[in-house]
């Protein structure tokens, strides 16, 4: 059986790898030319998704840096922790560099007999019974997937990797809700830590000085080149058109404060692969019915999850504007409840189960 994938980014090749591992032929169309992957960006992947990735897509063991603790702070409470997530002798999530993951997947795909990289553009949607579109700005998206709920945050995400003196067991992720927006320190080795600062305002902020101001842990040797991109969130109204399925950032895009964007996509891949496996086990062809089933199973979960992430952003945004401690203190009190803490840890790990 043949499936067509349109797209050239990380989501596209991750999905392609999952399909070829099932013995499904993939015709791959990319209109992005020679794609440049930002070397300063990293991805946090939850443990449940890592387990799925290792088993069904590609073993990531050599690429990952494990995180076993998360600490959350707020400007309004200065050095007091609001929330603390930790599992004894277990990893909460792991960090991987975008570039390293992309390179490993691409290298593996190029050697696979089930993978065919096509030249040019897809000429007709009737050439395949199932087309998966992962690009937001191509002709398919502009023609069939333009209805969306979109929100602009008037913010930019600034990403960089800092070099610092060695910290033994650098495995604690820190997130600080500053006056300008959330700032995350995400370790990637004992000597290096990824920084993501989602700051309100223009992209020309003095990010290096802000990073140094909020850094309480690292003896910084160098802040490498900073990249930035504008922030928005979206949810697509319709997940498919006939035999074309929308996928990845085309379906949903989140504020990066929770590090859940790629995790949502991995959960989508898991759901899609379950549907495909059911079809194959029953001798059924892969066609537009997959699109309908996928939308029915995932759309409501994805919308609820993305709305929840946006609520968290607005919660702290409101507090910074009010300039008081009431909201952080309330969350701090709530976070001390063991059941609530376990619930949010499980939600971040596995997503919504309804």
When pLDDT is averaged across residues 184-202 and rounded to a whole number, the result is 92
Closest CA to 184 of 253, 258, 254: 258
Give the count of domains, the chain: 1
- Using DSSP, state whether 59 is helix, strand or coil: coil
Percent of the chain with pLDDT strictly greater than 70: 88
Alpha-carbon distance of 197 to 184, in angstroms, equals 6
Tokens of 37: 């992957």
The pLDDT value given to residue 351:
67
pLDDT digits (tens, 9 = 90+) for 49-94: 999 999 999 999 999 999 999 998 888 777 678 888 887 778 889 9
When pLDDT is averaged across residues 319-348 and rounded to a whole number, the result is 67
pLDDT digits (tens, 9 = 90+) for 99-157: 999 999 999 999 999 999 998 888 899 999 999 999 988 899 999 999 999 999 889 99
Q: State the CATH number of the domain containing residue 78.
A: 3.50.50.60
Q: Which domain holds residue 302?
A: 2-350
The pLDDT value given to residue 200:
85
235 has a pLDDT exceeding 60: yes
The pLDDT value given to residue 233:
92
348 has a pLDDT exceeding 80: no
Category of 58 on φ-ψ map: left (φ > 0), alpha (ψ -120 to 50) or beta: beta
**CB-CB contact of 188 with 44 (8 Å):** no
336 has a pLDDT exceeding 80: no
Alpha-carbon distance of 335 to 238, in angstroms, equals 36
When pLDDT is averaged across residues 322-344 and rounded to a whole number, the result is 66
pLDDT digits (tens, 9 = 90+) for 171-180: 999 999 888 8
The pLDDT value given to residue 334:
63
The pLDDT value given to residue 16:
97
Instruction: Please give the helix or strand (H or E) that residue 10 lies within, else none.
Output: helix 10-20
The pLDDT value given to residue 137:
86
| Strands 244-246 vs 227-236: parallel, antiparallel or unpaired | unpaired
The pLDDT value given to residue 178:
87
- Using DSSP, state whether 25 is helix, strand or coil: strand
Q: What is the DSSP string of 66-114?
A: EE-EEEEEEGGGTT-EEEEEE-TT--SEEEEEHHHHHHHHHHHHHT-TT
Alpha-carbon distance of 297 to 92, in angstroms, equals 26
When pLDDT is averaged across residues 201-205 and rounded to a whole number, the result is 74
Closest CA to 173 of 217, 206, 223: 217
For the stretch 138-143, contacts whose Cβ atoms lie closer than 8 Å and that sit 24 or more positions apart, written own/partner, are 138/6, 138/31, 140/6, 140/244, 141/246, 141/250
Tokens of 122: 């897809």
The CA distances from residue 298 to 225, 239, 268, 293, in Å, are 37, 9, 7, 9
When pLDDT is averaged across residues 6-11 and rounded to a whole number, the result is 92
Beta bridge partners of 234: 150, 253
- Using DSSP, state whether 338 is helix, strand or coil: helix
Confidence of residue 347 (pLDDT cuts 50, 70, 90): low
pLDDT digits (tens, 9 = 90+) for 261-304: 899 999 999 999 999 999 999 999 999 999 999 999 999 999 99
Full-model pTM = 0.91
The pLDDT value given to residue 335:
64
Half-sphere exposure (CA, 13 Å, Cβ side) for 18?
Answer: 25
Tokens of 109: 């795909």
340 has a pLDDT exceeding 70: no
330 has a pLDDT exceeding 60: yes
Alpha-carbon distance of 312 to 317, in angstroms, equals 9
When pLDDT is averaged across residues 187-209 and rounded to a whole number, the result is 88
Q: Give all strands (DSSP E) within the chain, no chain letters.
A: 2-6, 25-29, 42-46, 65-67, 69-74, 81-86, 93-97, 115-118, 131-133, 148-164, 172-178, 181-187, 192-200, 220-223, 227-236, 240-241, 244-246, 252-253
| Summary mean pLDDT of the chain | 88
The pLDDT value given to residue 85:
85
39 has a pLDDT exceeding 60: yes
Instruction: Please give the helix or strand (H or E) that residue 348 lies within, else none.
Output: helix 338-350
The DSSP output letter for 239 is S
The pLDDT value given to residue 333:
65
Closest CA to 217 of 159, 160, 168: 168
């Amino acid at each position: 059986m043949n499936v067509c994938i349109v797209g050239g980014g990380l989501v596209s090749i991750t999905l392609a790898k999952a399909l070829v591992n099932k013995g499904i032929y993939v015709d791959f169309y990319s209109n992005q030319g020679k794609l440049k992957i930002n070397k300063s960006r990293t991805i946090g992947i939850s443990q449940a998704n890592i387990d799925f990735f290792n088993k069904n897509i590609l073993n990531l063991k050599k690429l990952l840096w494990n995180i076993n603790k998360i600490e959350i702070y707020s400007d309004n409470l200065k050095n007091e922790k609001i929330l603390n997530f930790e599992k004894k002798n277990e990893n909460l999530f792991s960090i991987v560099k975008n570039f390293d993951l992309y390179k490993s997947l691409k290298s593996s795909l190029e050697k696979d007999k089930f993978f065919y990289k096509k030249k040019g553009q897809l000429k007709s949607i009737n050439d395949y019974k199932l087309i998966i579109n992962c690009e937001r700005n191509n002709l398919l998206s502009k023609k069939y997937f333009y209805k969306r709920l979109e929100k602009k945050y008037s913010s930019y995400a600034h990403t960089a990797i800092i070099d610092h003196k060695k910290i033994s067991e650098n495995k604690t992720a820190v997130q600080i809700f500053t006056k300008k927006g959330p700032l995350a320190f995400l370790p990637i080795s004992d000597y290096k830590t990824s920084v993501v600062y989602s700051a309100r305002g223009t992209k020309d902020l003095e990010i290096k000085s802000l990073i140094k101001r909020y850094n309480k842990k690292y003896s910084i040797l160098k802040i490498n080149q900073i990249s930035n991109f504008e922030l928005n969130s979206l949810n697509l109204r319709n997940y498919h058109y006939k035999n074309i399925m929308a996928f990845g950032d085309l379906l949903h895009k989140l504020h990066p404060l929770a590090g859940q964007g790629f995790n949502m996509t991995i959960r989508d891949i898991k759901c899609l692969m379950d549907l495909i496996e059911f079809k194959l086990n029953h001798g059924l062809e892969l066609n537009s019915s997959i699109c309908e089933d996928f939308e029915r199973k995932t759309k409501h979960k994805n919308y609820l999850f993305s709305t929840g992430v946006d609520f968290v952003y607005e919660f702290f945004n409101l507090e910074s504007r009010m300039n008081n401690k009431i909201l952080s203190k309330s969350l701090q009190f709530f976070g001390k409840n063991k059941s609530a803490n376990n619930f949010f840890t499980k939600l971040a790990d596995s997503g919504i189960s309804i």
